[in-house]
Amino acid sequence: MSLFWQECKMNFKTMLVWALCVGGVCLGCLLLYDSLGESVEGMSDIFANMGAFSEALGMDRVSIGTLEGYYAVEISMLLSLGGALYGAMLGAGLVAKEEEGKTYEFLNAMPLGRARILAQKYGAFVALLAVFHGICICLILFGFAWMGSMPAMGNFATYHGAACLMCIEIGTICFLLSVLCRKRPVGAAVGIAVMLYMMDLMCRVVPALDKVKYLTPFCYSNAADIFSGGEKSEWLWGIGLGAVVLGAALGMSFVIYKRKDLM
Amino acid sequence: MNAMEMIKLTKTYGKNRGIQNITLAVEEGDIFGYLGPNGAGKSTSIRCMLGMISAASGEAYMLGSRVGERHFVEVLNRVGYMPSEAHFYPSMRAGDVIKYAARLRGMDCEKEAKRLCQVLEVNCNKKIRELSLGNRKKVSIVCALQHKPDLVILDEPTSGLDPLMQEAFFELLMERNREGMTCFLSSHVLSEVKRYCRHVGILREGELVKVDTVENLTRTRLHALRKIKIYGVAEVPQIEGISEIAQWDDALTFSYQGEMTDLLRALQGQKVKDLLISEPSLEEVFMYFYQ
C-alpha cells in the first residue's frame, strides 16, 4: 500500500485547497441566505416562472424561498461543478505524470506490476475524492447548523452520495485519458467536466435531448431532482448507466496500461 | 546459469528502428559492458528486459524468469535498476525517495541505505528539485543497490558523477560483484568498460555486432591489428596491411594488420634502434566495428 499512501500524501495539499475553496464558497453562500432576506421570496416566484431556464436549474420544482431549496438549486451547483473539475484534474494527472516526469522508470522497476500500480493509484484517487466530499459536507452541515435549519438528511445524503459518484465517474474517464497520454491532459479533463455539465443543462432545456441526458453523470446528481423527490426510476437509470461507464473506463484503463509501452 | 538472456529480441517504433534480433546471455556473477553510441538501442534493450516496453518478437529472461510472465514481477525484487536519467518526484526529499523505494519493495534497507549514503555523500535532507544530475544519480545508485540485488542493470551510470564519485561507485560495484552480484553496465565510456567489465557486447544501429571478453577483443580480434613504433627507420616497410602512418623525429608509427614474420622480414637489414609493438585499445576496437 506504499504507493497508495504516497499518492494520497502527494495530492493531499491540492485536495485540501480545492475542498476548502469549494466547501468554503458553499458555506459562505449558505451564511449569506439570511442577508438576502425577503427579496428571496420575491425572487422565488420570478425564478419559478422562467420557463425552460427554471426547468434547467430545477427552480420549478424546488423553491429557493427555503434554505433547503436555496441549497438544492443554487449551492449544490457549485459543489457539483467544483467537485467534477477537481475529480477530472486529479484523475487526469495520476498516471500521465509518471511519463511526463520520467518517474515511470523508477516506479516500474519496482516489484509491483502494472495492475497493482494502477489499482493503488485508483484507490488513492477514490480516497482523495471521498475526503474532498467529506470536508465539503462538514462545511455545508456547519452552515445549515449555523442557520438553525437542517436539511432532510435522507435527501441530503442521497445527493452527496450521487455527487461523489458523479465526480468519481468523470474522474475515471479522465483516469483512462491519463493512461492513454504521455503528458497530463489537464485541458482535456477540464473540457470533459464542463462539457458534461453543459450537456446536462442543454438536455433539461431542449425536450428533444431528453434521452441523451443519461449520458452525463450530472443527470443523477442534480440536487433539485433529489430534494423534490423526482422520478426514482429515471434516477436509477442514470446511476446504472453511470456505473457502467465508470466500470468500462476503469476496465479499459487496466487493459491499456498493461500493454502500454512506457517511454 | 544465465542472469540475463535475450533471444532474437526485436523492437521497432513504428517505422523507426529500435533493436533487431539481439541474442545475448550474461552469466551469473559477470560484469557485462553493453557498448554503443547514443541511439544504438542500449536503453531500448534494457527497457525490454525490465518489461517497460514489449518486444515485437523474441524472448527475454531475467534470473530464470521470462519477461512478461505472471511471476516476473517477483523477480524484480532481486533486481536493481539505475536509469540513465535519474528522475524522481521533485517535491520529495532524497532520503524520502530512498525510503520509499525500500517500502515499495517491502524491505527494510535502512542500514545498507545509510552506509551507501555515507560512501556516496548523499545529502538526504535536500529536495530532489534542488539536486544536480550528479546528486540525483547518487540517489539512484542507493535506490538500485540498497536491497542487495542479485542483478543490477545500470544505464550510463557515471554520466554526471565526478571522478571521485565514479571511483567510489565502482568500488561499491566490485565489492557487490565479489559477493556474487551480476552487473549489466550500459555505457559509451570505453575506459570504464575496459577497466571493470569482463565481457563486452557492442551494439550498432540496433544490432549486436560483437560479444566477447574485453581481453579477446583487444588481443585477438581485428586480425591481429597492432600498433607499431620503430626508432631509427625512416622508410615505411613495403608490405601489405600498413595504415595510419605517422613520423616524428626518429620514430615511425603505423598500424599493422598481418603476419608478424612478414613485418620482421621487411625490417631485416635496416638499422632498427628500438621496436615497440602494442595491442589496440578498446577505443580502436570500438571504432573498427563502427567504420
Place of cell 571478453: B213
**How far separated are the first and last CA of chain B, in Å rounded?**
35
Distance separating alpha carbons of residues A159 and A227, to the nearest angstrom: 8
Q: Is residue A225 part of a domain?
A: yes
Distance separating alpha carbons of residues B191 and B176, to the nearest angstrom: 21
**Which one is predicted more confidently, A226 or A188?**
A188
What per-residue confidence (pLDDT) applies to B245?
86
Distance separating alpha carbons of residues B248 and A33, to the nearest angstrom: 98
Q: How far apart are the CA of B123 and the nearest CA of chain A, in angstroms? A: 19
According to DSSP, the residues that pair with B15 across neighbouring strands are none
Show the domain range for A131.
2-25+76-259
Q: Using one digit for the tens of pLDDT, what is the confidence trace for B272-291?
A: 889 988 776 667 777 767 66
Residues B211/B198, Cβ–Cβ less than 8 Å:
no
Are B104 and A10 inside 8 Å of each other by CB? no
Are A103 and B85 inside 8 Å of each other by CB? no
B250: which 3 cell numbers? 626518429
Q: Which of B219, B249, B278 is the last residue of a domain?
A: B219
DSSP for A117-131 reads: HHHHHHHHHHHHHHH
Number of domains observed in the structure of chain A: 1
- The answer to whether residues B210 and B72 belong to one domain is yes
Q: Which of B181, B202, B219 is the last residue of a domain?
A: B219
B210 burial via Cβ count (<10 Å: 0-12, 13-18, 19+) = middle
Q: Which of B62, B100, B127, B140 to mutate to test the interface with A (most CBs of A within 10 A)?
A: B100
ipTM of predicted complex: 0.84
Angstrom distances, CA of residue B288 to CA of A208, B217, B222, B245:
75, 11, 8, 17
Q: Which of B215, B122, B133 is nearest to B172 (CA)?
A: B122
Residues B275/B253, Cβ–Cβ less than 8 Å:
no
- The answer to whether residues B79 and B189 belong to one domain is yes
Under DSSP, the state recorded for A262 is P
A216: which 3 cell numbers? 452525463
- What φ, ψ does residue A65 adopt, rounded to 5°? -75, -15
Q: Is residue A34 part of a domain?
A: no
Across B261-272, b (16+ Cβ under 10 Å) vs e yields eebeeebeeeee
Distance separating alpha carbons of residues B140 and B97, to the nearest angstrom: 9
Tell me which chain A residue has its CA closest to the CA of residue B52: A262
- The answer to whether residues B242 and B203 belong to one domain is no
Q: Which residues fall within 8 angstroms of residue A35, CB to CB, at 6 or more apart?
A: none
- B73 and chain A in contact, CB less than 8 A: yes
Q: Which of B81, B40, B32, B39 is nearest to B209 (CA)?
A: B40
A158: which 3 cell numbers? 442521497
Mean pLDDT to the nearest integer, A218-224 = 88
Q: Which of B73, B139, B153, B154 to mutate to test the interface with A (most CBs of A within 10 A)?
A: B73
Q: Using one digit for the tens of pLDDT, what is the confidence trace for A22-63?
A: 999 999 998 888 777 666 666 666 666 666 666 666 666 777
Question: For residue A235, what pLDDT band results from cuts at 50, 70 and 90?
Answer: confident
- What φ, ψ does residue B81 adopt, rounded to 5°? -135, 130
Distance separating alpha carbons of residues B279 and B228, to the nearest angstrom: 9
Hey, what amino acid is at B5? Answer: E
What per-residue confidence (pLDDT) applies to A237?
85
- The answer to whether residues B145 and B281 belong to one domain is no
> Which residues of chain B are within 8 Å of residue A109 when distances are taken between CB atoms?
50, 76, 79, 81, 83
Please check the confidence at residue B147 and state whether its pLDDT lies above 90: yes
Residue from the list B75, B90, B100 with its beta carbon closest to the beta carbon of A6: B100
Write the CATH number for B95: 3.40.50.300
Residues A220/A246, Cβ–Cβ less than 8 Å:
no
- The answer to whether residues B150 and B204 belong to one domain is yes
Number of domains observed in the structure of chain B: 2
- What φ, ψ does residue A91 adopt, rounded to 5°? -60, -40
The strand order across the sheet containing B274-278 reads B242-248, B251-257, B225-231, B274-278
What per-residue confidence (pLDDT) applies to B291?
62
- A70 and chain B in contact, CB less than 8 A: no
Are A108 and B53 inside 8 Å of each other by CB? no
Show the domain range for B283.
222-290
According to DSSP, the residues that pair with B246 across neighbouring strands are B253
Place of cell 446504472: A240
Are B104 and A262 inside 8 Å of each other by CB? no
Q: Using one digit for the tens of pLDDT, what is the confidence trace for B203-245?
A: 888 899 888 888 787 665 555 678 888 998 878 888 888 888 8
Mean pLDDT to the nearest integer, A107-134 = 95
Are B52 and A262 inside 8 Å of each other by CB? yes
* B216: three-class secondary structure by DSSP: helix
Please check the confidence at residue B125 and state whether its pLDDT lies above 70: yes
Predicted TM-score (pTM) of the model is: 0.85
- The answer to whether residues B229 and B196 belong to one domain is no
